[in-house]
Amino acid sequence: MFLKINNATKSFDNEFEVFSDLDLTIEENQFVSLLGPSGCGKSTLLSMVAGLESVTEGSIELDRQKITKAGPDRGMVFQQPSLFPWLNVKENVMFPIKKQKDAEERAEKFLKMVHLSRFQNNYTHELSGGMQQRVAIARALAMDPKVLLMDEPFGALDEQTRHILHEELMKIWQETQKTILFVTHSIQEAIKLSDRVVVMGTRPGRIIADFHIDIPRPRKRDDEEVIKLERKVMDLLEGEINKVLKEELSHEGIY
Ligand X SMILES: Nc1ncnc2c1ncn2[C@@H]1O[C@H](COP(=O)(O)OP(=O)(O)OP(=O)(O)O)[C@@H](O)[C@H]1O
Nearer to ligand X, 39 or 58 (CB): 39
Give the closest residue to 214 by CA, choosing from 223, 206, 205: 223
Nearer to ligand X, 42 or 162 (CB): 42
Nearest distance from C-beta of residue 42 to Mg ion, angstroms: 5
How many binding residues for Mg ion (CB under 5 A)? Answer: 1
Residues 6+ apart with CB under 8 A from 187: 35, 230, 233, 234, 237
Choose the binding region for ligand X from 40-48, 83-91, 114-122, 228-236 (rule: CB under 6 A): 40-48
User: For residue 152, what is the DSSP state?
Assistant: S
The single residue among 30, 33, 43, 133 that binds Mg ion, judged by CB under 5 A, is 43
CB 32 within 8 A of CB 195: yes
The single residue among 3, 30, 35, 42 that binds ligand X, judged by CB under 6 A, is 42
Q: Is 39 in the site for ligand X (CB under 6 A)?
A: yes
The single residue among 33, 43, 179, 184 that binds ligand X, judged by CB under 6 A, is 43
Say how many C-beta atoms besides its own lie within 10 A of residue 16's C-beta.
9
Q: How far is it, in rounded angstroms, from Cα 78 to Cα 57?
A: 25
The single residue among 38, 82, 117, 250 that binds ligand X, judged by CB under 6 A, is 38
Q: Where does residue 87 rank: exposed (0-12), middle (13-18), buried (19+ CB within 10 A)? A: middle
Strands (E), the chain: 3-11, 17-26, 31-35, 57-62, 65-66, 74-77, 147-151, 179-183, 196-201, 206-212
Nearer to ligand X, 57 or 175 (CB): 57
Q: Is 51 in the site for ligand X (CB under 6 A)?
A: no
Q: How far is it, in rounded angstroms, from Cα 134 to Cα 119?
A: 11
The single residue among 24, 40, 213, 236 that binds ligand X, judged by CB under 6 A, is 40
Choose the binding region for ligand X from 38-46, 69-77, 97-105, 187-195 (rule: CB under 6 A): 38-46
The single residue among 41, 81, 130, 153 that binds ligand X, judged by CB under 6 A, is 41
Q: Is 12 in the site for ligand X (CB under 6 A)?
A: yes
How many binding residues for ligand X (CB under 6 A)? Answer: 11
Site residues (vs Mg ion, CB under 5 A): 43
